[in-house]
Structure formats: C-alpha cells, structure tokens
A and B are shown apart, each in its own frame.
Chain A
Amino acid sequence: MKLKLASLALGALMAAGPALADLVFPDLSYRTGAYAAGGIPFSDGYQDYFTLMNERDGGIGGVPAKVIECETGYNTEKGVECYEATKGEGALIYQPLSTGITYQLIPKVSADGIPLHTMGYGRTSAANGKVFEWVFNYPANYWDAASVAIKYLLDENGGDLSGKNITLLYHNSAYGKEPIRTLEDLSKKHGFTLNTIPVDHPGQEQKSQWLQIRRERPDYVIMWGWGVMNQVAIQEAANIRFPMENFIGNWWAGAEHDVIPAGMAANGYKSLNMNRIGELPVFDDIRKYVVDAGKAAGDGSNVGSVLYTRGMYAAMLAVEAAKTAQQIHGVGQIDASMMRDGMEALEMTAAKMEALGAPGIGPEFGVTCSDHGGSGMGIVQQWDAAAQKWTALTDFIAPDRDVTAPLVEEDSMAFAKENNISLRCE
C-alpha cells in the first residue's frame, strides 16, 4: 500500500504538463524481446523520417513534429500502458506494429477518436471504412498478401495450381491466423491443397514442423512469420534442403536479418514486399540531416534496410496525411480528428512520391471514406546471398479482390453487428 502511494505521487509528477505546441506522433516500438530484430529498424526509420522533417523542412507545414517513443516489447499489456500514457499528449496517430496490440486498440481509438494506421498488418477487415471509421490499413493487408503470393505462384505455373500442395507455416497468433481464410478460399478456387502448420511464440524451436514438411514434401511453403521465427524457419528449411525458391515469406518475413544468419544456404529465398527496396534519394537526406548530425534514433546502420524503409514509408504516409489534413482544414496545428480527415483524403501518386525523394516506394493508391485499404499491391523479392541484398523479381502485383472483397465485407459486417455500428459513407 505504501509502495502504491509512493508511486502515485511520483507518477502524478510525471504525468503533469503535456505541451500542445507540436504535432505528436507516438511510436509504440519494441527494441527488446523476441521480435526486436524487426522492431528496431522499423522504429529507426519511423523516427528518423520525422527528425528529417524537422531538420530539413522545419516541421510539417511549419509545425514541428514530436515523436514519443514507448517500449511495448510486442506485449499487449505494455501496449495498453503505452497507449494510455501517450494518448493524453495530443497523439495524432498510432502505429503499433503488432497485430495483437492492434486488436486491443481498435475499440479504444474508436472511442477516443484517434486514428490507427496498421500498414500491412492488424485487422484486415478494417479496410472497410464504412464500419471502421478510425482504423486504416492502406496500402495493403494480409489477405491481399495471401492473394498476391498465390497470384505469383499462378504466374510461375502458367496459371494453373491444381494438384499442387501448398503449406502455410504460420505464427500461432492472431497475426499468423489471418491469411488462413483467404488461402482456403483461394485453394477452392484454384484447386490446390492447403496445409497449415502453426509455430508457437516465439518460434525458436521448429524441428517438428520442418520434419512434417520434409515428410509431406509440399510444392511450396508460404510463411507468415515474425521475429526470431523467420531466422529459425529459414535455417531449418536449409537443413532439410527444401528448395529455397519454393519458400515464400510474407512481407514481415523478408528482411536482411531474417536471411543473413543462414548464410549462403538462404540464397534464393523469396518474400513479398509492399514497398520498393534499394537506394532512394531520401536516404541521402536522412544521412545528411539526421545520421551525420547525430540525431538518428538508432546507430544509423539500418538506413536502407527493408524494414527501415518500411518504417520510413509508414512515417511518410503519416506526414502526407498530416499535410493533407492541414490543407483541408487550413490550420497548421491539426488535432486527431483532422488527422483522420487527412488520412481519408490521402492520395499517393507517382509524382508525389518522386517529389518526396522516394520514387516508386509504394504503389499508387487513394483512400476514400469507404475504402481504407489502398490498392493491396505487393512485389516479390528474392535474396541474393552472395551480394547480400534483395532483388525485386516482379513489379507490383494486384491482389485478387474477387476473393478478398467478400471476405472483408463479411468480417467487417459481423464486427458492425456485434458492436452496433451504423454504416458510414452513405
């Protein structure tokens, strides 16, 4: 009890005095735990882009951006703590980089009126803006990813997958279970056999799963992995001599740190990506204004890596949405509901991305009131172990919306019914 009182006094001291002079972007990051390998570069990219805005452009529309970092450790309880700790500071947008935390936050942000952007993760059916007013998942979601992967395999097999065996190796959590429904529908449509093999958190032990794969000899393995699970899976695939070109990760299972531990054995491993890879002009600015000035969030070694690029892309979309909101409302100091208007009117065109120093970093897409999901396009990339880099194999592939759209509709309507939400945009 005494401890409680002491912490009460101390905490009250901490909570005092939020300044409202900046545009606040909380960064719920994770730099510790089993998923830190992915969390660190993403968070570095996210923060560095805001620092670049402040250093090079003097803020967003003249108003400085402020990033509040809060460590979640990919843990939902800490995520809730971080959300409650930062929401009072004038937070404009939340990007938790965790599907578990996203599910926590969807009802909370809807009640508090703060936009939530889950880029390529989170609840897929949030793409339906008629139901999810405050949640966005552009430019792509899990069901798009599943569809893009199957489309790529269709292309490889001359448009016919009938009789093929495809195994989904997934993280046994909300994140990993998301694509199953889409893949089941796709297997009916294209006539392939789908097997699903779960890997429990954190995924450091996958001997039995890969033994099963070795026995069943599937034609392709698709992986929905994250954190340490990816490295282990690629190593195990190499151990059973599974042909790497038939092993495709989703876009959270395709970064440098996932493949480097397996060395040359990882050569040829493929993964999806929702953003372009390679050198971009904006990285030079980040090196000049942020890293060399000693203001980088990390040590600067991650600049240009896959997840750094994605974190930066996430920040870029947030900044563009904030700029759009400033234009719509004619004020510099926007609040969370104006930010939401900006996100809903966001247009990403090739010219805009070029002007930002990131030509072709993502697909062109526009967000509307009813569509919060973007175009859903993704590329397939392949790891070149000798050159230590990813190379893009395809251009942006469009998902099969004939399959995913009804699923989104069904799932979001179920959510609307459960929570008595009346539809918007009509």
Chain B
Amino acid sequence: MFYREAGDFKTSYGEDSQTFPIKFDRVRYYTVLVVAFGIIPFVINDYWANAVFVPFLIYAIAAIGLNILTGYCGQVSLGTGGFMAVGAYACYKLMTAFPDVNIVFHVIGAGLITAGVGVLFGLPSLRIKGFYLAVATLAAQFFLVWLFNKVPWFYNYSASGQISAPERTILSIPVTGPNTDAWAKYMICLIFVVVLAWIARNLTRGTIGRSWMAIRDMDIAAEIIGVNPLKAKLTAFAVSSFFVGIAGALFFSVYLGAVEVGEAFGIQKSFLILFMVIIGGLGSIFGSLAGAAFLVLLPVLLKNVLVGALGWPTDLAAHLELMIVGALIIIFLIAEPHGLAQLWRVAKEKLRLWPFPH
C-alpha cells in the first residue's frame, strides 16, 4: 500500500541508483539514524552501553569486514580473531608510543596496519581456494595469537602480558579508560559504524565491489573478462582486514579497556563473527548488522529473561542459552540459508504487493 515505487518518480541517474530507491526505505533509514544519534545517547546508561550497544556496534564492524571478504569476494576466512588482535595491539602500541595524537587516528592507523597484515596473509588466496584457504587463514589466527603472547614488545613488557588502554580524549571528552561516559563510548562506536558501513556499501556497489563479486561467482570467468584476480583478492583482503582491525582496536580500547590475546581474540571469536555473517546473510551490509545484533543481543536477552525474570539458577540458564542459541542457528540455516537479510528481502517483496498479492 504505502510501501511501493508507484508515484516515487526519479528524474536523474543519481536518484535512480541510490541505495534506498523506495521512499519508505529512505524514511526508515533516516529515522533509525535520528534515533541512534538523537535519542539513544541521551537515555543510555552504563549497562546498556557496555553490555548491549557497544559490543553490538563493534561486532557489526567486524562482521561487515568479514562479509566483504567472504560474502562479496568468496574467500573463506577463519582468521578474523587474529586480525582483530592485530588491530588491538597496533592500537595499543600507537596509543602508548604517541600519547598526544588523537585516538581516532590511532584507531584508523590500527586499521591500516591490519590491512597490511591481511594482505600478507591473503597472498596464499591467489593459489588456493575454499577449505584450503580456510585452513591457511586458520594458521594466521593461531600464528598471530601466539606472536602476541610470545613477544613481550607487543605488550610493553608488562608482567602479566595484558594490555590496558590509557585514558584518551576527543575534544577533551574521555572515550577510553574508566572515566568514559556511556554516551561517549556509544557515540564513538556509532560514528565508526555509520561511516564504515557507508564506505562498505558504496565500495560494494562500485567497480571494485563488482570485481569482487565476479571473482566470487566464478573466478576463471572473471579473469577471462578482464578482472585482475590479484588486485581483486588482495583489495578484498585489505579492505576486510581494515574493517576488522578497526573493530579490534575499538574492542580493546573503548569496549574492554584491557585484553589478553588468547582469551579475547581466540579461535572462538573467529567463529562467532563467521556465524554472524552466515546468520545475517552473506553479501549484505544489512545482514552483517542483523547477524551481529542477533548473536550479541540474544544471549543477553535470554540471560535477563531466564535469570532476571524467571529466577532460574545461573548455570542452568547459561547451559540453556547455549542450547537455545545453537538450536536457533540450526533452525535459521535450514529455514533460511541466506540469512536474516534474505528474510528481510522476502518481507519487503511481500509488503510491496500487500494487500493485493496475486
């Protein structure tokens, strides 16, 4: 009824190829932005920031990063945790080496360093594909975690091998360290998410994104029509690692404040982000956000319902949580293998025809 193209006239090519061609979608998108920027920062408290929004936003960046590599370019990676660790440790080294530089530049710098490391570990992708590449990136995961554990220079020779983020400010508002207000934490993550998601969306529908998708769909055919696989694959690794590195840097500096590489960036982190991408939907920016929301919010929600509302024992709730989340993942993959993004697409198609489906 109200959700359709009819009457929504375009008079220029720019308008015709915009991200949200339907007016209702545009309105919805801007409403979400207004709520996210204009309302949530004023009502957020420590619990909502630290347990819900900040992890959701940071995982969303990591999921977008992995989605670029796996969903758009078709290169399976199990090294996300390791690349996040690169981002975190790069950010720590930059923060402690150049204390006077603004933290935003450190985070971006950490992303660039991770992009370099990602390209290095992406080189094998030119020769090997599929499961074999997954194993090669798995090696990256274990190597990087081992490296940050083994070489004391990375953690500034601290006794425990932990890295902890000193206080840093933007416009004299602290954004890292213990005195950070909930809204400041939330805002810095939100700004990074919005900017990065915008970049990702526009990259993936431009030349470079199309060359990634060509490689994903059939690499030999892509090569024959003139797509350079070296360039396409390595740019995918670079951009993906840049995103993942920023996620790692924010994860360490803004969210946790102190991390230990084996625990925070172990193999289970790689799997978690891969699950987010698969559940959200491969090859979709919205899917990355939805997948991150699903896997971050659901455990918190279940915990609050089972322990907080029903008063069940914590261990029972923790075990049930694993079972419910696991069961939901399986049900989702059977019922909708293309993830939450596909569900959303189907819902939109249905809405377009509603109330007169033929």
Contacts and interface: CB of A to CB of B under 8 A. Distances in A.
Interface of A: 1, 3-4, 7-8, 10-11, 13-15, 29, 31-32, 36, 40, 69-71, 73, 75-77, 80-81, 84-85, 87-88, 99-100, 103-104, 106-108, 110-112, 123-125, 172-175, 177-178, 180-181, 198, 200-201, 411, 418-419
5 contacts: A31-B318, A104-B257, A107-B257, A125-B159, A411-B159
Contact of B50 (A10, A14, A81): A81
Contact of B52 (A7, A73, A180): A7
Given A3-B297, A85-B47, A172 B149 contact: yes
Contact of A73 (B178, B309, B318): B318
Interface stretch (B187-195, B202-210, B230-238, B260-268): B260-268
Given A3-B293, A11-B300, A73-B318, 17 more contacts: A3-B297, A14-B304, A14-B309, A70-B314, A71-B303, A77-B264, A81-B300, A84-B47, A85-B51, A107-B164, A107-B258, A172-B149, A175-B160, A178-B160, A201-B263, A201-B266, A419-B166
A11 B258 contact: no
A84 B258 contact: no
Contact of A200 (B46, B179, B258, B262): B262
A359 B245 CA distance: 54
B259 interface: yes
B8 interface: no
Contacts of B50: 80-81, 84
Interface of B: 32, 46-48, 50-52, 55-56, 149, 159-162, 164, 166-167, 177-179, 255-260, 262-264, 266, 290, 293-294, 297-298, 300-301, 303-305, 307-309, 313-315, 317-319
A1 B293 contact: yes
A165 to B, nearest CB: 22
A88 B48 CA distance: 12
Nearest to A39: B315
B62 to A, nearest CB: 13
A103 B164 contact: yes
Contacts of B305: 10, 14
Nearest to A7: B301
A110 B314 contact: no
B297 A4 contact: yes
B239 to A, nearest CB: 25
A173 B263 contact: yes
Nearest to A109: B178
A7 B46 CA distance: 16
Given A84-B47, A103-B162, A4 B263 contact: no
Contacts, number: 130
Contacts of B255: 80
Contacts of A108: 178, 257
A43 to B, nearest CB: 9
Shortest 3 CB-CB distances between A and B: which pairs?
A: A31-B315, A111-B178, A107-B178
A263 to B, nearest CB: 27
Contacts of B301: 7, 10-11
Contacts of B256: 76-77, 80, 104
Contact of B51 (A31, A69, A80): A80
Contacts of A13: 309
Contacts of A10: 301, 304-305
Contacts of A70: 307, 314
Contacts of B258: 103-104, 106-107
Contacts of B164: 103, 107
A403 to B, nearest CB: 14
Contacts of A106: 258
Nearest to B316: A31
B162 A174 contact: yes
B263 A123 contact: no
A178 B319 CA distance: 32
A175 B50 CA distance: 24
A177 B159 contact: yes
Contacts of B46: 84, 87-88
A16 to B, nearest CB: 10
A32 B318 contact: yes
B150 to A, nearest CB: 9
A110 B167 CA distance: 13
A80 B305 CA distance: 18
A76 B304 contact: no
Q: Which of B164, B166, B294 gathers most chain A CB within 10 Å?
A: B164
Given A70-B314, A75-B263, A103-B160, A81 B51 contact: yes
